[in-house]
Structure 1
C-alpha cells in the first residue's frame, strides 16, 4: 500500500477512535518502509486536528476526543520507537512544554512532543494544569532554550500572558524563547502577549521551534 493510502487510513483511524487500527497502520507502514515523520505529520496529526475542530464545533464530545487522543498515542508509541532505533540524534536544544494552569486537556500535545523528539530536541513534558511558577522553575532547572505552553480553553489563555509577565518580572525573559499554541490561540494573541512564536499545529510547532533555536544560537 502506498504512503498516501496509509496517511488516509491514519486520519480515519483517529477520527473513528480506533487504537488497534492505528497501531496496525503504524506497524504495517513501517514494515513497508514508509517515513514515520511524514505519517505522523500528514496522517495522525491531521486526524487529531480534525477531531479537535469537531469538538470545538460541538460535533463530538469529550469522551470521543479523549479516545481519539488514545488512538493517536497507540500509533505514536510505535513510530517513536522506530525512530529511536534508527540511531541517536544530536540534541539541538531543550524545550519545556506544558498545558497551562486550569486546563486539563492535552489533546495534540503528544504529537507535538513526538515530532520535536524526532528532530533531536529534548522535550520535558510537565503535563496538564501546570502552574506558572513550576514552568519557570523547570526551565531554569533544565537550562531550557524554549518554553512551550498550550491552552485548549479560552478561559485559560491568560495563563500564557502570566508566564510572559513573570519572565519579565524576574528578568528571565531574554533567557528563554516562548511558543504558544492551542485551539483558541492565534498569531495575534502571541503578538499581544509578547510570545516569540505561535504554532497552529504539530508541523508548524516543529518549524517554529527549529527557527527559534537557530536565532537563539546567534
Structure 2
C-alpha cells in the first residue's frame, strides 16, 4: 500500500504530465486514506507551479495551462473536498473581487487563487483579465467586498496595481477593503510601492491569509509575504 509521501510524489508527477485520469484517481485515493483536504490543495498548487515553469520554458502552451486548471478544478469538486469545505464553511467566509490588472491578459495564476478562495468558502467576483482600474472601483461600490485581489504576471503590472490602489483612495473606498496582490515577481519594495495590505507569490499562502483575515475581529492581515 502506498504511503502519503509516495502518493504526493505520484500526484505531482501526474499533474505535471497533465494526466487527468490518474490525477483524479490518485486524489480520490488520498482522500479515502484520510489526507487533509487543505494539504491536498497545497500539493495541487505545487503541481500547478511545476506546470507554470514548463510553460515559462515554452515546453507547454496555453492549452496545457488550461488543461492543468481543469484538473485542479475537478479535484476541488470531488465529493470529499466539497463536503469538507462546506462543512468547515457552512456560511460564506467573505467576499473577494479579483482580477488581472490592465495591461496583462494572463489568467492562470488568478484562476488558481480564485479556486482556492472558493474552497475556503469565499464568494468570488472574477472580473477577468486586462481589467481597467475604474472597473475595480465600480465593482467595489457594487459588491462591497471584504478583499480586493490584484493579479499580474508581467513586471509592468506593478505600476498598474499602484494605480488601482490610488483609484480606490481617490474614490474614498480604500479604508473599506483589504488589498492583496499576487505575482511571482513581487518583492517587498514593490509591495510597499503599490500600497497593498499583503502580497503573495504563492496562491496557497495568499488564500490562507485571506481566510485568516476574515477570522479576526477586523479582518486585518499582516503586511509582507508571510
Confirm or deny a common fold (TM above 0.5).
Answer: yes
Query: Structure 1's 114 and 19: CA in aligned 2 closer, same or farther, altered over 3 A?
Result: same
Shift of 1:15: 1.0
In structure 1, the gaps of 5 or more residues are none
Shift of 1:121: 2.8
Q: What is the count of residue pairs matched by the alignment?
A: 217
Query: Structure 1's 158 and 57: CA in aligned 2 closer, same or farther, altered over 3 A?
Result: farther
Deviation track 1:100-154 (CA, whole Å, cap 9, x = no partner) reads 2232222133332333333333322222232222222222222211100110122
Q: Is the 8 A contact 1:97 1:149 kept in 2?
A: yes
Question: RMSD in angstroms over aligned alpha carbons?
Answer: 2.5
Q: Report the 3-state secondary structure (helix = DSSP H, G, I; strand = E; otherwise coil) of the residue aligned with 1:75.
A: helix
In structure 2, the gaps of 5 or more residues are 221-226
Partner of 2:113: 112
Shift of 1:161: 1.4
Q: How does 1:1-218 map to 2 (within 5 A)?
A: 1-41=2-42, 43-78=43-78, 80-84=81-85, 86=87, 88-213=89-214, 214=216, 216-217=218-219
Q: Report the 3-state secondary structure (helix = DSSP H, G, I; strand = E; otherwise coil) of the residue aligned with 1:103.
A: coil
- Report the TM-score, using the length of structure 1 for normalisation: 0.85
> Which stretches of structure 1, 4 residues or more, deviate above 4 A after TM superposition?
none
Task: Determine the C-alpha separation between the residues in 2 that align with 1:14 and 1:211.
Answer: 28
Task: Determine the C-alpha separation between the residues in 1 that align with 2:33 and 2:11.
Answer: 15
- Report the TM-score, using the length of structure 2 for normalisation: 0.82
